[in-house]
Amino acid sequence: MTEPSDSSLGKAVSHSEVSRIAVKVPPFWRENPAIWFSQLESQFVTSGIVQDSTKYHTVVASVETEILSQVSDIITSPPNDDMYKKLKERLINIFSDSEERRLKKLLQDVELGD
């Protein structure tokens, strides 16, 4: 029996299969989840991923369980619409410092003079 050539094997792989392989999800960045999502969305663009459900499932499959436990309601009962957007918004809200917390951190780090 003859083996197929490399070129025929390449044709058998669909674009979506290649996209799934190509996504490199960076480690979740608790200190700045908005930047993390920007990095991830760049990966989606370069990998040709546009479907909301694919983006959602990529996050769920990639983020540590300790992070996902903070949004367990969205994980166990995903919304019907905008799954990725809602997950993204919630994670950013949970892990981003509020304006007040950022100001307090800044003031704590500044040494006051006499």
Residue 106: inside a domain, yes or no?
yes
- Look up the domain containing 59 and give its range: 33-112
Residue 51: inside a domain, yes or no?
yes
C-alpha 41/C-alpha 39 separation (Å) is: 5
The total number of structural domains that make up the chain: 1
Residue 58: inside a domain, yes or no?
yes
Residue 5: inside a domain, yes or no?
no
pLDDT digits (tens, 9 = 90+) for 64-107: 999 999 999 999 999 999 999 999 999 999 998 766 777 777 78
pLDDT digits (tens, 9 = 90+) for 39-62: 999 999 999 999 999 999 999 999
Residue 87: inside a domain, yes or no?
yes
Q: What letter does residue 69 receive in the DSSP assignment?
A: G
C-alpha 4/C-alpha 88 separation (Å) is: 43
Residue 16: inside a domain, yes or no?
no
Encoded tokens for 81: 């619409």
Question: Residue 104: left (phi > 0), alpha (psi -120 to 50), or beta?
Answer: alpha
Residue 19: inside a domain, yes or no?
no
Q: What letter does residue 32 receive in the DSSP assignment?
A: -
pTM of this structure: 0.71
Residue 13: inside a domain, yes or no?
no
